[in-house]
Chains A and B, each alone.
Chain A
Amino acid sequence: MNIHLLLELMAERDGTRAALGPRDGDATYDVLVAGSLRIATAIRRSGARSVAFVGLNGPPVPQLLFGSAAAGVPFVPLNYRLPGEVLAGLLGRLDRPLVIADEGCAPALAPHVDVVHREAVWIAGAIGDNEPTEVAAAPDGPAVVLFTSGTTARPKAVELGHDNLTSYVLGTVDLASASPDDATLVAVPPYHVAGVGATLSNVYSGRRLVYLPDFDPQAWIDAVQRERVSHAMVVPTMLARIVEATGGVPPRVPTLRTLAYGGAPTAMPVLDQALALFPDVGFTNAYGLTETSATIAVLGPDDHRASRAGGRPDKLGSVGRPVPGVDVQIRDDDGAETPAGEIGQLWVRGAQVSARYTDGGSALDADGWFATRDRAFVDDDGYLFLGGRVDDVIIRGGENIHPSEIEEVLVRHPLVRDVSVVGIPDEEWGQRIAAVVVRADAGASAEQSELDADAVRAFVRDRLRGSRTPDLVVFRADLPYGPTGKLARRDVAALVTEPDPPTPRGSAQKQSGTVTEVAR
């Protein structure tokens, strides 16, 4: 069924409820439906076979998403942070795209693309000049196309079908289940699968969408207060910055009931602090991939509370249990299912799993299973624990070492704010282990900080097998995260080998950035 029906059904339940924007705004569900049906007419008249959007998140995103769906063409939100020529390359991979950009993004695109429509003008014209159209039957083609971030390779165009997305929403959300006072704060960009999930899930549940287009931690807290936000979703880097911005003082956010986080692994110290700062908020971890139409496993508020209270096995390091309709399997490298509790590759199956790529076909096996390329195991209670990407494995002297093993130990060191472990090429060992560490006492120079390379190595050596001890320890001010909180491991490896920051005049000592190397 067409995803547009999700919007229609909510409008039939309560069409006068505010759907978008401020509390006292007039963008109701009825208005959203009426607009999307006129936008669909404009898309059809243009002859376009896809709608590409380059811009910040905001009310135009659901308008164009549902308008495209009603017209039966895919909606393709693109990463507005990419340079114009890269965006032009992605647009060249789409079928006759209608290109719409916001005021901020259009200038960068204009030199590289023939026709770029300005968001505000185009939408106003589409709604003002057209009659509503009949909604297209759900086409076999995608409802949404998302390009992967391409941290390891050329971006892939993931196709999410109407069936994938409606299965996800119907399986995880009840129609009109939100109270009319509920509001969700969307801080993720539109080109992230969580941005697509946010639009569809919240529309179907009848929860007003409020946008924070350009994330800033204080602006996020202000928006929660001003818009009386009840629900929010953030990626881990946002959570870390919110925690930092509070200065350790719990902010007054009485309306906030749930805070979901996900999209990348979360550092345990950040989560611990967040739980302490928002004691009345229900925390939820969501795990999913672009290819799976967002969330496939959930760790809910009860698990978070239980962890804080202690008293039962801690699930905080887990991504929770699979959502209804999603089957999981752990397989070894030969594709055979592993015995319960053993670590292996995570495979998933279900109606929401697309795993279909433009130009690449389907990545499903004959029985409909998709390899996530994440390492994982399932505990006795059915909780899923992740152990890093298969692609990130370090092979040192023939031994497979997963960076997450070492990272999980080091983030628990009180003087470590963040850490990434990567393999770097080595003639003798094939690869060696490098740990890039961000000190918690940021700004402290090497001689002021109590944390040096020997302390880092000793901390790991005391807790893991000797082969896990980092060969190299590098201190840096930050790790290279992308805008959606994904760590670019490629760039971490480059950090290891780049020269140290210049030594300030007058100081004979090396500053933070010292590369320390030991023979073992």
Chain B
Amino acid sequence: MKITPGSRLRSTVSSTEVVVVRAPAVDLDLTCGGEPFLAFGPSDTSPAKPGDTEAATANELGKRYADPSGAIELLVTKAGSGVMAADGVELVRKEAKPLPATD
């Protein structure tokens, strides 16, 4: 599917929800737990999946996940399980030490 920065996506296998921070301008097979993500908008009222953050593969709320090249980056807006991948390449959590507040 074609995804653009700012798009909101929802997993079909878990409670995971993400927003696209960065994406290349090409079609991309974006999956969570092996199944394609579904796009949804703010006016979308379909019920979200119940939380399932207990799983070992939990996608953490507020954390970013990216491919090795950094071309695709997702921000988790609702925690859930399921490995996230783009065209079969696993997206891994970007490690960022919290910085002291500067603003």
A284 with B62, Cβ < 8 A, contacts A2-B6, A5-B19, A9-B19 known: no
Residues of B within 8 A of A50 (CB): none
Whether B21 pairs with A300 at a CB distance below 8 angstroms is no
B44 interface contact, C-beta 8 A: no
Chain A contact residues: helix, strand, loop or mixed: mixed
Whether A282 pairs with B100 at a CB distance below 8 angstroms is yes
- A341 and B62 CA atoms in complex are apart in Å by 37
A175 with B100, Cβ < 8 A, contacts A1-B19, A2-B6, A170-B75 known: no
From A135, A166, A171, A233, B102 is in contact (CB under 8 Å) with A233
Whether A258 pairs with B101 at a CB distance below 8 angstroms is yes
B4 interface contact, C-beta 8 A: yes
A258 with B100, Cβ < 8 A, contacts A163-B5, A175-B62, A177-B62 known: yes
Residues of B51-103 whose CB lies within 8 A of A: 61-62, 64, 75, 77, 96-103
Number of A-B contacts (CB under 8 A): 82
Chain B contact residues: helix, strand, loop or mixed: loop
Whether B6 pairs with A172 at a CB distance below 8 angstroms is no
Residues of B within 8 A of A164 (CB): none
Whether A284 pairs with B100 at a CB distance below 8 angstroms is yes
Q: Who on chain A is nearest to B73 by CB?
A: A170
- A312 and B74 CA atoms in complex are apart in Å by 40
Residues of A166-200 whose CB lies within 8 A of B: 166, 170-177, 184, 194, 197-198, 200
From A1, A294, A298, B21 is in contact (CB under 8 Å) with A1
Residues of A within 8 A of B98 (CB): 174, 177
Closest chain A CB from B10 CB (angstroms): 13
- A1 and B8 CA atoms in complex are apart in Å by 10
Interface centre among A12, A137, A172, A197 (most CB of B within 10 A): A172
Residues of A275-303 whose CB lies within 8 A of B: 282, 284, 286, 294-295, 298, 300-301
- A258 and B99 CA atoms in complex are apart in Å by 12
Q: Who on chain B is nearest to A301 by CB?
A: B100
- A5 and B97 CA atoms in complex are apart in Å by 23
A396 interface contact, C-beta 8 A: no
A-B contact pairs, 11 of them (CB 8 A): A138-B6, A163-B22, A166-B21, A174-B96, A184-B101, A194-B103, A202-B103, A258-B100, A284-B102, A294-B102, A295-B102
Could you list which residues of chain B lie within 8 angstroms of chain A, going by C-beta atoms? 4-6, 19-22, 42, 61-62, 64, 75, 77, 96-103
